[in-house]
Chain A
Amino acid sequence: MSTITPDVIAAHQLTQSEYDKILRLLGREPTFTELGIFSVMWSEHCSYKSSRIHLKKLPTQSKRVLQGPGENAGIIDIGDGVAIAFKIESHNHPSFIEPFQGAATGVGGILRDIFTMGARPIAVMDALRFGRLDDPRTGDRNRRIVDGVVSGIAHYGNCFGVPTVGGECVFDESYDGNPLVNVFALGVFRHDEIFYGKATGVGNPVIYVGAKTGRDGIHGASMASAEFTEASKQKRPNVQVGDPFMEKLLLEACLEAMKTGAIVGIQDMGAAGLTSSSCEMGSRAGTGVEIDMQFVPQRETGMTPYEIMLSESQERMLLVAERGREDEVLRVFGKWGLDAVAIGEVKDDGMLRVKDRGKVVAEISNRALADEAPVYNRPYTKPLRTAPLHGPDVHSGDLLADLKRLLASGDLCSKRWIWEQYDHQVRTNTVAGPGAEAAVIRIKGTPTSVAMALDGNGRYCALDPREGTKLIVAECCRNLSVVGADPVAATNNLNFGNPERPEIMAQLVESIEGMADACRFFETPITGGNVSLYNETLGVPIHPTPVVGIVGTMPTAEPIGIEFKNDGRDVILLGGYGASDTEQFGSSQYANVIAGCVWGTPPKLDMNYEKRVQTTIRELVRARAVESAHDVGEGGLAVALAECCFGRDEIGVEARMNSALSKEFLLFHEGPSRVIVSTGNPEAVFEAARKNSVEAIRIGATLKSRMAVSNQTETLLDCAVQELKDVWENSLEHLLHSPHHTPVSVE
Chain B
Amino acid sequence: MKFGVVVFPGSNCDHDAWYAVSQNLQQQAEFIWHDSPSLGDVDAVILPGGFSYGDYLRCGAIAKFSPVMSAIKKFVAGGGPVLGVCNGFQVLVEAGLLPGALVRNAGLKFICRTGPVRVETTDSIFTHQAENGQILQLPIAHGEGCYIADQETLDRLEREDRVALRYLDNRNGSMRDIAGILNEGRNVLGMMPHPERAADPLMGGTDGLVILSSLAGAYAGHAASHSPASKI
Contacts and interface: CB of A to CB of B under 8 A. Distances in A.
Interface string A152-165: 00100011110000
B54 A428 contact: no
Given A161-B50, A249-B9, A249-B10, A427 B112 contact: no
A420 B16 contact: no
Contacts of B194: 425
Interface in B194-208: 194, 196-197, 199-203
Contacts, number: 86
A683 interface: no
Given A154-B110, A243-B54, A425-B197, A556 B202 contact: yes
B203 A431 contact: yes
Nearest to B109: A421
B20 interface: yes
A39 to B, nearest CB: 34
A482 to B, nearest CB: 19
B126 to A, nearest CB: 20
**Interface range for B:** 20 to 34
A192 interface: no
A556 B232 CA distance: 9
Interface in B37-62: 49-51, 53-56
Contacts of A423: 110, 112, 141
A252 B50 CA distance: 14
B111 interface: yes
A273 interface: no
A244 interface: yes
A246 B13 CA distance: 17
A426 interface: yes
B110 A421 contact: yes
Contacts of A419: 112
Interface string A407-437: 0000000000001111111111011000000
Interface in A249-264: 249
Contacts of B111: 420-421
B15 interface: yes
A79 interface: no
A99 to B, nearest CB: 15
A337 interface: yes
Contact of B16 (A245, A428, A431, A558): A428
Given A337-B9, A420-B112, A423-B110, A431 B141 contact: no
Contacts of A690: none
Nearest to A243: B54
B113 interface: yes
B19 A558 contact: no
Contact of B12 (A337, A422, A426): A426
A425 B203 contact: yes
Contacts of B12: 159-161, 248, 426-427
A609 interface: no
Nearest to A442: B202
B84 interface: no
Nearest to B114: A425
A522 interface: no
Contacts of B99: none
A444 interface: yes
B51 A428 contact: no
A740 to B, nearest CB: 22
A521 interface: no
A428 B10 contact: no
Given A249-B10, A425-B197, A159 B203 contact: no
Nearest to A159: B51
A246 to B, nearest CB: 8
A83 to B, nearest CB: 20
A442 B51 CA distance: 24
A420 B232 CA distance: 26
A425 B15 CA distance: 13
A428 B20 contact: yes
A425 B55 CA distance: 20
Contact of A159 (B13, B54, B113, B202): B54
Q: Is the interface of B mostly helix, strand, loop or mixed?
A: mixed
Contacts of B145: none
Contacts of A424: 112
Nearest to A253: B9
A245 B203 contact: no
Contact of A558 (B50, B196, B197, B201): B201
A32 interface: no
B201 A427 contact: no
Contacts of B53: 245
A427 B17 CA distance: 9
A442 B204 CA distance: 13
A427 B194 CA distance: 12
A336 interface: yes
Nearest to B196: A428
B28 to A, nearest CB: 18
Contacts of A558: 201-202
B51 A421 contact: no
Nearest to A161: B12
A406 to B, nearest CB: 26
A245 B56 contact: yes
B139 interface: yes
Interface string A585-620: 000000000000000000000000000000000000
A23 B51 CA distance: 50
Nearest to A557: B202
B202 A427 contact: no
A438 B74 CA distance: 48
A426 B85 CA distance: 13
B229 to A, nearest CB: 15
Most buried by B among A243, A249, A423, A430: A423
Nearest to B199: A428
Given A245-B54, A442-B202, A427 B16 contact: yes
B110 A248 contact: no
Contacts of B15: 427
Given A248-B51, A421-B109, A421-B110, A428 B203 contact: yes
A677 to B, nearest CB: 21
Contacts of A249: 9-10
A431 B202 contact: yes
A328 B19 CA distance: 29
A444 B110 CA distance: 27
A647 to B, nearest CB: 13
B130 to A, nearest CB: 21
Interface in B201-222: 201-203
A245 B51 contact: yes
B207 to A, nearest CB: 14
B200 A428 contact: yes
B145 to A, nearest CB: 12
Interface string A132-172: 00000000000000000001001000111100000000000
Contacts of B200: 428
A492 to B, nearest CB: 28
Nearest to A163: B112
Contacts of A160: 12
Contacts of A151: 109
A442 B232 contact: yes
A158 B54 CA distance: 11
Most buried by A among B51, B202, B232: B202
B232 A158 contact: no
Nearest to A246: B54
B173 to A, nearest CB: 15
Given A158-B110, A160-B12, A558-B202, A428 B141 contact: no
A426 B9 contact: no
B209 to A, nearest CB: 13
Contacts of A425: 112, 139, 141, 194, 197, 203
20 contacts: A158-B110, A159-B10, A159-B54, A161-B50, A161-B51, A245-B9, A245-B51, A248-B9, A248-B10, A249-B9, A421-B110, A425-B139, A425-B197, A425-B203, A428-B20, A428-B197, A428-B199, A431-B203, A442-B232, A558-B202
Nearest first, the 3 closest Cβ-Cβ pairs linking A and B are A161-B12, A245-B54, A159-B51
